[in-house]
């Protein structure tokens, strides 16, 4: 089996692959042969005696479930990838997908599929779609009664193919059809404080203009994370930033090399992370003197925001900056994932095994992993600095997420009632009212509304700390 030059930290059938490897070894190891023989015997018994005949797809799924079930018992982060899952996993790490480039949601008033926001540089934005547009039909098929995942599947598709959407724009009171050509969409893991008024596809990074405190939110460690963080830092510094808030709340992790690259942006020396395998050997990744963007904690004070959903690569960066005295940690204790996964390809390269191969240590030599038997009182995860722990209520957490989504939305510049340039309807075409949900669950709670007066307590704590630092 070939090993990919890629490591993950984490958000055939393999039986045939394993048998092929064993067949290439003469003679096969006796214990391995017996283990494979057991699996083959079980499959043969199912094939012969199960109360009904399985389809080829069901047989394939049975083998994959057997493999993944066993791997999950060994380690929750190890996984067998079939061909489809491998393609999706590779696309996620690259930060790309095929579609029209729009965040979709459901309108809480009508239950109708809607556009939460088009993405920057996307076919959806180019076609003129706007936030809050209601999608009444997809290629002539009404979305009323369509499951959300089903609607997403209809809208996504191969690059270069087209999808025709029937749109109701509440702000203009009109309906129209628009054809959008799908493309490969690059997702962006880095966000700023607010969309720029002059160009909503770009960010402003100053969260506190008076004290020149910048804000960068990093949502995942995909392949573009490092260069996007560096570009955001340079833009924030050009705007006069004197301090930085790096928000990694809810960041599930991603690629190991990206965590090293991002840690290196803030450190001129010292360890970033250490990895150790089953033989207690590994790598000690150190920050380089060159390439650092914001090195000095005295010149550019820094606060990192984390929560219980900050995991893996996010924990590597947080621990590296904390242990090296580069930044303080604000929020709550992180998830506690101190392991590294690597991918091993099948001979044909179409499937793979993602396997936990190493554990990682902080610069101070601590493994922060939370084991299944770990208790709340045990020492796992990355903890906030003294006096900077913030406990949030469920209501505050929901409001924080709603405000983050609101900040990400791309809104039209001025002409809110304009229609897309393509497929303009006749001027007198009446607006088709969206249909109400067929059934209303009386036990379903009312959707939570955005509170315009809400202040994120974790953000406020970080601003309070940095304002004192900037004041000197």
- pTM of model > 0.75: yes
- CATH ID of 190-341+354-394+456-471, from 3.20.20.70, 2.40.30.20, 3.90.226.10, 3.40.50.410: 3.90.226.10
Active-site residue, selected from the candidate residues 117, 174, 222, 312: 312
Q: What is the pLDDT of residue 1?
A: 45
Strand duo 96-99 + 183-186: pairing? antiparallel
Indicate the burial class of 89 (C-beta count within 10 angstroms; 0-12, 13-18, 19 or more). Answer: middle
Q: Where are the domains of the chain?
A: 2-94, 97-186, 190-341+354-394+456-471
Active-site residue, selected from the candidate residues 107, 208, 323, 456: 323
Indicate the burial class of 158 (C-beta count within 10 angstroms; 0-12, 13-18, 19 or more). Answer: exposed
Farthest CA pair distance, the chain: 80
Distances (CA, A) of 407 to 249, 255, 411, 450: 15, 26, 10, 12
Tokens describing residue 227: 């260069």
Would you call 350 a catalytic residue per the annotation? Answer: no
Tokens describing residue 253: 């992790």
Of 260, 275, 267, which Cα lies nearest the Cα of 291? 267
pLDDT digits (tens, 9 = 90+) for 371-409: 989 999 999 999 999 999 999 999 999 999 999 999 999
C-alpha to C-alpha distance for 10 and 338, rounded to whole angstroms: 9
DSSP string, 82-107: -HHHHHHHHHHHHTEEEE--EEEEE-
Q: What is the pLDDT of residue 432?
A: 56
C-alpha to C-alpha distance for 24 and 15, rounded to whole angstroms: 14
Q: What is the pLDDT of residue 123?
A: 94
Q: What is the pLDDT of residue 429?
A: 53
Would you call 107 a catalytic residue per the annotation? Answer: no
Q: What is the pLDDT of residue 411?
A: 79
Active-site residue, selected from the candidate residues 337, 342, 419, 461: 337
Q: What is the pLDDT of residue 141?
A: 93
Q: What is the pLDDT of residue 424?
A: 47
DSSP string, 326-345: S-EEEES------EEEEEEE
Phi and psi at residue 52, to the nearest 5°: -145, 160
Q: What is the pLDDT of residue 33?
A: 80
Residues 6+ away with beta carbon under 8 Å from 195: 201, 202, 203, 204, 407, 408, 409, 410, 411
Phi and psi at residue 319, to the nearest 5°: -65, -40
- CATH ID of 97-186, from 2.120.10.30, 2.60.260.20, 2.30.42.10, 3.40.50.2300: 2.30.42.10
* pLDDT in single tens digits along all 472 residues of the chain: 445 445 555 443 444 444 444 444 445 556 778 888 888 899 999 999 999 999 999 999 999 999 999 998 888 899 999 998 898 888 888 877 889 999 888 887 788 899 989 998 899 999 999 988 999 999 999 998 888 888 988 998 899 999 999 999 988 888 999 999 999 988 899 999 999 999 998 999 999 999 999 999 999 999 999 999 999 999 999 999 999 999 999 999 999 999 999 999 999 999 999 999 999 999 999 999 887 887 777 789 999 999 999 999 999 999 999 999 999 999 999 999 999 999 999 999 899 999 999 999 999 999 999 998 999 999 999 999 999 999 999 999 999 999 999 999 987 765 444 445 444 444 445 555 555 544 444 454 566 788 999 999 999 999 999 999 999 7
């Amino acid at each position: 089996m070939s090993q990919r030059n890629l490591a993950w930290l984490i958000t055939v059938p393999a039986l045939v692959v394993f048998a092929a490897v064993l067949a290439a070894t003469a003679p096969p190891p006796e214990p391995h042969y017996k283990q494979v023989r057991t699996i083959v015997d079980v499959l043969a018994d199912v094939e012969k005696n199960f109360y009904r005949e399985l389809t080829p797809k069901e047989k394939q799924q049975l083998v994959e479930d057997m493999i993944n079930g066993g791997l999950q018992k060994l380690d929750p982060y190890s996984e067998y990838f079939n061909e489809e899952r491998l393609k999706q996993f590779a696309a996620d790490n690259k930060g790309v997908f095929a579609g029209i480039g729009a965040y979709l949601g459901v309108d809480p008033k009508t239950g109708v599929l809607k556009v939460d926001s088009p993405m920057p540089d996307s076919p959806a934005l180019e076609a003129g779609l706007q936030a809050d547009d209601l999608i009444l039909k997809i290629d002539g098929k009404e979305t009323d009664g369509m499951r959300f995942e089903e609607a997403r599947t209809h809208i996504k598709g191969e690059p270069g193919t087209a999808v025709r959407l029937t749109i109701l724009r509440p702000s203009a009171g009109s309906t129209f059809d628009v054809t959008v050509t799908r493309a490969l969409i690059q997702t962006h893991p880095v966000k700023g404080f607010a969309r720029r008024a002059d160009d909503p596809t770009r960010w402003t990074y100053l969260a506190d203009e008076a004290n020149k405190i910048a804000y960068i939110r990093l949502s995942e460690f995909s392949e573009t994370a490092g260069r996007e963080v560096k570009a955001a830092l340079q833009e924030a510094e050009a705007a006069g930033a004197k301090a930085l808030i790096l928000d990694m709340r809810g960041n599930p992790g991603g690629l190991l090399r990206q965590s090293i690259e991002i840690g290196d942006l803030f450190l001129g020396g010292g360890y970033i992370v250490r990895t150790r395998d089953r033989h207690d050997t590994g790598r000690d990744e150190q920050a380089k003197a060159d390439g650092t963007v914001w090195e000095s904690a005295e010149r550019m004070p820094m606060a990192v925001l984390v929560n219980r959903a900050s995991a893996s690569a996010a924990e590597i960066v947080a621990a590296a900056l904390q242990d090296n005295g580069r930044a303080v940690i604000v929020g709550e204790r992180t998830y506690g994932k101190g392991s590294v996964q690597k991918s091993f390809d099948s001979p044909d390269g179409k499937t793979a095994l993602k396997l936990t191969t190493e554990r990682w240590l902080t610069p101070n030599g601590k493994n922060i992993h939370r084991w299944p038997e770990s208790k709340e009182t045990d020492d796992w995860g990355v903890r906030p600095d003294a006096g900077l722990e913030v406990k949030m209520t469920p209501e505050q957490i929901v409001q924080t997420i709603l405000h983050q989504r609101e900040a990400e939305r791309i809104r039209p510049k001025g002409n809110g009632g304009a229609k897309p340039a393509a497929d303009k309807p006749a001027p007198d075409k009446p607006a088709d009212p969206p249909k109400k949900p067929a059934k209303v669950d009386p036990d379903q709670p009312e959707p939570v509304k955005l509170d315009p007066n809400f202040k994120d307590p974790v953000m406020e704590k970080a601003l309070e700390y940095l304002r004192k630092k900037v004041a000197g």
